[in-house]
């Protein structure tokens, strides 16, 4: 059974002096209004660490009750930083199985009220405990991967930095983005070293925000053509390859198989650039760019709005922001707007779109393919 | 030669250190095993704002031991360390530390191994050439 996206909505991302429940409600109500549905058959809630960030738990019931939908079945889905797209998968699966006819998927995170080291520690709990005992944080693991990728795959700092420059330029055209201004290549390359060779402006910010979709079995403007999950060892030391993500490759393969087409039909993509080099790795892992070509394609402007294959027209995690469990849903919200021709200021011509979400340090990844209705 | 406690999968022969209960690739119980405490740097990084409880700067490396097991290690410094550098690994209270092996260390290591195998002359030559190449000053990776 085909699954369609009938409604999309999100909050502005950034430092928001608004409770997580209110952020989720804002996104959910916007998506429901967009779909012209008052009461969905089920609710899938994505939140990565609401207990630690907000002190509140039982988030499925909490969101359902807050929305005035306490009688609607609700559950919470979690796969670390890709929880949002995991919740979309849960919604997709329940519709495809014929359990429901409409599902509200809503995800969000509220983080900026805590000091950065505390946020880093909470996110770091998604790392293998042995590796964490060595002081490994997400930026530390990303630094290890970046150095290996520069050595093995020939990525250079200029290409990596250009990802951040491009995504900031896109974010400046997206009113929902955390960062509303551009950055220069020099500013990125000279920003402070966080985890050598990674610098501060290669890393996504800490953001608050929420995003929501309404999925239906009733045809709407955009169809979920394929969705796939891929996994890998949570322990980075158990992986034979550091510089590509098996979890992305497996997710992409599953999504393409379900869709019945390959990367050649994709015209716009949202990739998980939590760290700028991850966009280059992900471009090649999803097959959107041939192996070894991602850096060059980025420097040549192929992946910018106006280029052959615009990547992260929203600004990506780098500039739109990364409120953890909101991100995978926000990627799809952006792509729905793009496919409907409603991405004002950053519209690209496209009928087929791809979103990729990385969970943890690429231990639980997702790829979703969307297609505009003919 | 120093050895580290490891474990090996009886099905696929995969080795991991420190020892794990089950193979990362199969739900199969691993057997106790030992690996020599020398290897090559797979990657390394330095944190200038490490998490609470760690001194700055914090050097972290992934080291691949002979047999393929990869370890997370701390190090005193990364000056002169490159991807592919030979390092020795020490277990101090269940925490691994790597140290960059100088030319003399590597020569000693090759000598010792060669002595065991009775191929001293060839190994000395190999160690000298390898040491000479690795010891050459080079740019940052």
CB contact (8 A) between residue B70 and residue A140: no
Q: Report the mean per-residue pLDDT for chain A.
A: 97
In total, the C-beta contacts within 8 angstroms joining chain A to chain B are 82
* Residue B109 pLDDT: 57
Percent of chain B whose predicted confidence (pLDDT) is above 70 = 71
Q: What angle do CA B79, B85, B89 make, to 5 degrees?
A: 90
Give contacts of B68 with chain A, Cβ < 8 Å.
Answer: 240
Examine the pLDDT at A365 and tell me if it is beyond 80: yes
Give contacts of B24 with chain A, Cβ < 8 Å.
Answer: 233, 235, 238
* Residue A364 pLDDT: 98
Distance of residue A363 Cα from the nearest chain B Cα, in angstroms: 13
CB contact (8 A) between residue A135 and residue B58: yes
A238 at B interface, C-beta within 8 A: yes
* Residue A98 pLDDT: 97
How do residues A167-178 score in pLDDT, each as one tens digit? 999 999 999 999
CA neighbor of B18 nearest in space, from A130, A112, A127, A313: A130
Q: Read out DSSP for A213-257? A: EEEESS--SEEEEEEEEEE--S-GGG-S-SSS-HHHHHHHHHHHH
* Residue A178 pLDDT: 98
- Nearest CB partner across the interface for B60, out of A144, A194, A238: A144
Cα separation, A57 vs B22, whole angstroms: 33
Place of tokens 């019931």: A61
How do residues A302-345 score in pLDDT, each as one tens digit? 999 999 999 999 999 999 999 999 999 999 999 999 999 999 99
Nearest CA in chain A to B56: A135
B55 at A interface, C-beta within 8 A: no
Q: Is B57 helix (H, G, I), strand (E, B) or coil?
A: coil
A151 at B interface, C-beta within 8 A: yes
Cα separation, B93 vs B100, whole angstroms: 20
Predicted model pTM: 0.92
* Residue A186 pLDDT: 98
For A97, residues 6+ apart whose C-beta sits below 8 A from its C-beta are: none
Q: Summarize the confidence of residues A136-164 as an average pLDDT.
A: 97
| Residue ranges of B 60-79 with Cβ closer than 8 A to chain A | 60, 62, 68, 70-74
The ipTM is: 0.94
Range with the poorest average pLDDT among A30-39, A221-230, A331-340, B80-89: B80-89
Cα separation, A26 vs A108, whole angstroms: 11
* Residue B121 pLDDT: 46
User: Strand B95-100 vs strand B86-92: parallel, antiparallel, or unpaired?
Assistant: antiparallel
| Residue ranges of A 164-193 with Cβ closer than 8 A to chain B | 192-193
Give contacts of A134 with chain B, Cβ < 8 Å.
Answer: 60, 72-74, 95
């Amino acid at each position: 059974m085909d699954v369609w996206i009938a409604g999309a909505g999100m909050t502005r991302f950034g430092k928001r002096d608004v409770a997580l429940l209110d952020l989720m409600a804002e996104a959910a109500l916007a998506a429901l209004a967009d779909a012209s549905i008052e009461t969905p058959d089920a609710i899938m809630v994505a939140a990565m660490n609401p207990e630690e960030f907000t002190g509140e738990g039982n988030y499925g019931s909490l969101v359902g009750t807050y929305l005035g939908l306490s009688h609607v079945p609700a559950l919470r889905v979690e796969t670390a930083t890709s929880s949002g797209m995991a919740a979309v998968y849960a919604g997709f699966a329940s519709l495809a199985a014929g359990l429901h006819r409409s599902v509200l998927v809503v995800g969000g995170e509220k983080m900026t009220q805590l000091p950065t080291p505390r946020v880093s520690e909470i996110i770091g709990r998604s790392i293998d405990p042995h590796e964490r005992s060595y002081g490994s944080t997400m930026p530390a693991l990303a630094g290890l991967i970046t150095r290996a990728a520069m050595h093995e795959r020939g990525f250079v700092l200029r290409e990596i930095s250009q990802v951040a420059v491009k995504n900031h330029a896109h974010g400046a055209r997206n009113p929902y983005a955390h960062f509303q201004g551009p950055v220069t290549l020099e500013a990125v390359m000279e920003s402070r070293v966080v985890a050598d060779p990674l610098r501060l402006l290669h890393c996504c910010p800490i953001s608050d925000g929420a995003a929501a979709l309404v999925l239906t079995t009733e045809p709407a403007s955009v169809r979920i053509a394929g969705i796939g999950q891929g996994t890998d060892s949570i322990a980075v030391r158990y992986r034979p390859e550091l510089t590509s993500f098996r979890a992305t490759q497996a997710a992409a393969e599953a999504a393409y198989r379900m869709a019945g087409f390959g990367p050649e039909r994709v015209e716009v993509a949202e990739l998980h650039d939590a760290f700028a080099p991850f966009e280059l790795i992900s471009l090649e892992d999803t097959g959107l760019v041939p192996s070894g070509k991602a850096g060059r394609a980025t420097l040549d402007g192929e992946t910018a709005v106006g280029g052959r294959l615009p990547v992260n027209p929203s600004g990506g995690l780098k500039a739109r922001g990364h409120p953890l469990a909101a991100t995978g849903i926000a990627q799809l919200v952006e792509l729905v707007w793009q496919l409907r021709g409603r991405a004002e200021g950053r519209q690209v011509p496209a009928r087929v779109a791809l979103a990729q979400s990385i969970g943890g340090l690429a231990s639980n990844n997702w790829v979703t393919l969307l297609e505009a209705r003919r | 030669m120093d050895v580290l406690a490891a474990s090996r999968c009886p099905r696929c022969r995969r080795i991991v250190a420190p020892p794990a209960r089950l193979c990362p690739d199969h739900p199969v119980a691993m057997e106790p095993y030992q690996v020599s405490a020398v290897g090559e740097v797979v990657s390394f990084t330095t944190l200038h704002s490490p998490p609470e409880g760690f001194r700055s700067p914090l050097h972290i490396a992934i080291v691949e031991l002979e047999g393929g097991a990869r370890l997370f290690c701390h190090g005193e410094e990364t000056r002169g360390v490159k991807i592919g550098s030979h390092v020795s690994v020490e277990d101090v209270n269940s925490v691994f530390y790597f140290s960059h092996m100088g030319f003399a260390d590597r020569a000693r290591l090759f000598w010792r191994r060669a002595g065991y195998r009775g191929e001293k002359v060839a190994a000395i030559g190999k160690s000298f050439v390898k040491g000479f190449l690795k010891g050459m000053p080079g740019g940052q990776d």
